Structure 1
C-alpha cells in the first residue's frame, strides 16, 4: 500500500489513536466545538495532518446525531443461553423503539472484539452491548474509550462499568445442595471451558457447595459445552464406577453423559444422578427427564436493554453498576435420585430456596 493509499484509508479512529483521544474528541475538533483543551485540539489537528485524514459527513455528524440504534456483539457458537438472551434483548430494544445492529464473532480475542466495536461506532450506535462468555471478549473492550457506553452481559467483573448477570454460583450451589440432600457423597463436576466466565462461576459454586456439606472435591473434568465432550467424560466415569452423582455445567454435555451411561449398560439415576444447567427446551423430554438449573434468559435480555436505557438517561438509574438478575432455579426431574446404596431409605427431599418442581 502506497502512502496515498494509507492516507485515503485513514479513519476517525486512526486519528483518535494517534492523538491519544476518543473518536468523539476528534469529532468535536472537526465540528469546531469549544469544550476541547487547546493542547488536545493541537494533538488532534497534528494527527489529522499526519494521516492526511479527510472527514466524511457522517464523521462530522457523529457527535451530535441521535440514531436510536444499539450495537450488539455476540461471540462463539449459537448456544442456547446467549442466543436466547440476545433474542429477548432485541425484543426489548424494539419495544423501546431502538434498532439493533448485531456483530456475531467466531473469534472472541481482544483484536476482533475491539474491531467489531469500532465498526459499530462508525455506524453511529448510541451504546454497545456484549453478550459473551469469554473473558478475552470483555477484556478486549474494557478500558477502550469508544465514546459510547458499553454494557456487558457477563458473570465476572472484567473492567466494563455496566454489567448484568444471572447468579451462576447460586445455581451450581443449589445443584450440589439437592444431590447432598439425596444422600450423595461423591459428587463430580464436568465444567465448561476454562476461558468461560459462566463456567468459572458454576465451578466455584460446585466447590462452595461441597465445602458447605463437608464433602471432598475431586479434580473436575473440563468439557467444551458439546454433547461429544459430555459423552467422553461419561465413558470415563462409567469405567471408574465410583461417582454416584455429577453436576454438569450445561444440558448439552449432560445429554452426552447420559448416552455414555446407557451404552455402558448403566442407568440414570440408578447408577448416577445427573444435574444439568440451562434447562434447554429438550431437557424435559430426555430419557430420563433432566434435573437442571433453569436460567431465565428472558429477564436477562430485558435487563440488558433496561441498563442501556438507564445509561442513556431514558430510565432512572438503579443503585450500583451491576444488575444481579433474579432468574435462577433448580428444576427437579427424573435424572436424580438417592444413591443405590440408600435405595429405600427415608431421605428428605431437597427444598432449598432455588428449588422448584418440573
Structure 2
C-alpha cells in the first residue's frame, strides 16, 4: 500500500480505534487520551497518511489554513518555536502560510497582516519577541482569530496567548542556587528590547530578596556569546559573586570563556547558569546548568488554542512551565 492510497480508515485500523477517534486527534480535540493521541499521530507519520484538505474545506466551507507571522530576529527560541508550530499544524492536518518581518517595522507588520488576511486563514499565530509589536498587531488583524506566542503579553481582548512561564524558570534557578549556598548573584541580562530578557531580569530582581539573596543586573545588550564574554571579563575582575545567572546559554558560554581565561574556576570559585538548553549546552566547559524551554509544548498549545478559536471557543492564556537541568557548572546541590 502506498502513502498516496492511505486513508483515515487505515490509520484507525492500525491503531485499533474508531474513525471518529482518529478524526478527533487530527482536529486537536482534547477528548482523547494522551496514549491514544500519541499512537494515532505515530501511525499517521509511519503510514504517510495525509488528509484531503481540499475535500475537507469544500465540505466544511473552511480553509484549513493557518497564518503564521514571525516578528523579529530568528534566534534559537524563536526558530524552535516556529518549527514546533509548523509540526503541530501539520499533525492537525492544517495548511500553513508563513511570513516574517522585522520587529521594529510597524509598516511591515501591517503589510504582513494584510497579506496573510488576503489568503483567508482561519486563524493567525504570531510568534513575537517584543511586547511593543502587540498594539500594531491588534490594530490590523481585522477580526481574524489570533494566538500570540512568546511576547509575554496576557489578558489581551480577543487574543489567545501562549508563552513560557518565565517566573517559574527564574525561581527554579534561584532556589537551586540557594541550595548551593549562593547568596550574591549577578544576572547577565539580554537585550531589553526583548520581552523575555526584560521579564527575566525583573523577576530575578524581585525574587532574589525573598530568598535571602542579593542580586545585581548587568546588561549585555545582545544574546551573543561575544557580549557574554565582555561582561564576563568585568565579572572576573572582581569582586566575584557567588553565582552568575545568564539570560540565555550563549551569554553563559561567553561568561564561562572569560572566567576561564582569568583563571577563575567554575563551579569552585563561582557557579554559572543559563537559559534555553541549546543543543550542545551539556558539552560546554563545564557542562551548563540551564533552564529548558518546552518548545514542542508551545507549538502544540498554540495550534490547540487556534483550533479552539476557529471553532468559536473563548480566548485563553496558556503558560508552559520550563524545566531546570542541573549540570556541572553549578556542582551538586548541598
**Is this a same-fold pair by TM over 0.5?**
yes
TM-score w.r.t. length of structure 2: 0.76
Q: Choose from 229, 232, 240 the match for 2:230.
A: 232
Partner of 1:155: 152
RMSD over aligned Cα atoms: 2.1
After superposition, give the CA deviation of every residue in 1:48-89 in whole Å (9 maximum; x if it has no partner): xxxxxxxxxxxxxxxx96321111111333211111111111
Partner of 2:27: none
After superposition, give the CA deviation of every residue in 1:243-266 in whole Å (9 maximum; x if it has no partner): 121111101111111111112222
Shift of 1:171: 0.3
After superposition, give the CA deviation of every residue in 1:280-335 in whole Å (9 maximum; x if it has no partner): 11111111100001111110111000000000008xx47x6201223x11111000
1:90-169 aligned within 5 A: 90-153=86-149, 154-157=151-154, 159=156, 161-169=159-167
After superposition, give the CA deviation of every residue in 1:136-165 in whole Å (9 maximum; x if it has no partner): 222321243513111101322384621011
Shift of 1:221: 2.6
Shift of 1:222: 3.6
For 2:217 and 2:320, how far apart are their aligned partners in 1? 30
Q: Conserved in 1, the CA contact under 8 Å of 2:229 and 2:254? A: yes
For 1:157 and 1:117, how far apart are their aligned partners in 2? 21
Q: Choose from 320, 328, 331 the match for 1:337.
A: 331
Unpaired segments ≥5 residues, structure 2: 1-59
Unpaired segments ≥5 residues, structure 1: 1-63, 339-347, 350-358
For 2:62 and 2:83, how far apart are their aligned partners in 1? 24
For 1:219 and 1:91, how far apart are their aligned partners in 2? 37
Q: Conserved in 2, the CA contact under 8 Å of 1:223 and 1:253? A: no
Q: Choose from 44, 67, 85 the match for 2:81.
A: 85
Q: Conserved in 2, the CA contact under 8 Å of 1:70 and 1:128? A: yes
After superposition, give the CA deviation of every residue in 1:24-57 in whole Å (9 maximum; x if it has no partner): xxxxxxxxxxxxxxxxxxxxxxxxxxxxxxxxxx
SS of alignment partner, residue 141 of structure 1: helix
SS of alignment partner, residue 140 of structure 1: helix
For 2:223 and 2:297, how far apart are their aligned partners in 1? 23
Shift of 1:235: 0.9
Q: Choose from 300, 303, 309 the match for 1:305.
A: 303
- Whether 1:185 and 2:179 are equivalent positions in the alignment is no
Q: Choose from 316, 321, 329 the match for 1:321.
A: 316
SS of alignment partner, residue 278 of structure 1: coil
Partner of 2:64: 68
For 1:192 and 1:157, how far apart are their aligned partners in 2? 21
SS of alignment partner, residue 330 of structure 2: coil
Q: Which has the larger radius of gyration?
A: 1
Partner of 2:262: 264
Shift of 1:227: 0.8
Q: Conserved in 2, the CA contact under 8 Å of 1:171 and 1:205? A: no
After superposition, give the CA deviation of every residue in 1:200-245 in whole Å (9 maximum; x if it has no partner): 2211321233121222332433431111111111011011232121
Shift of 1:112: 1.9
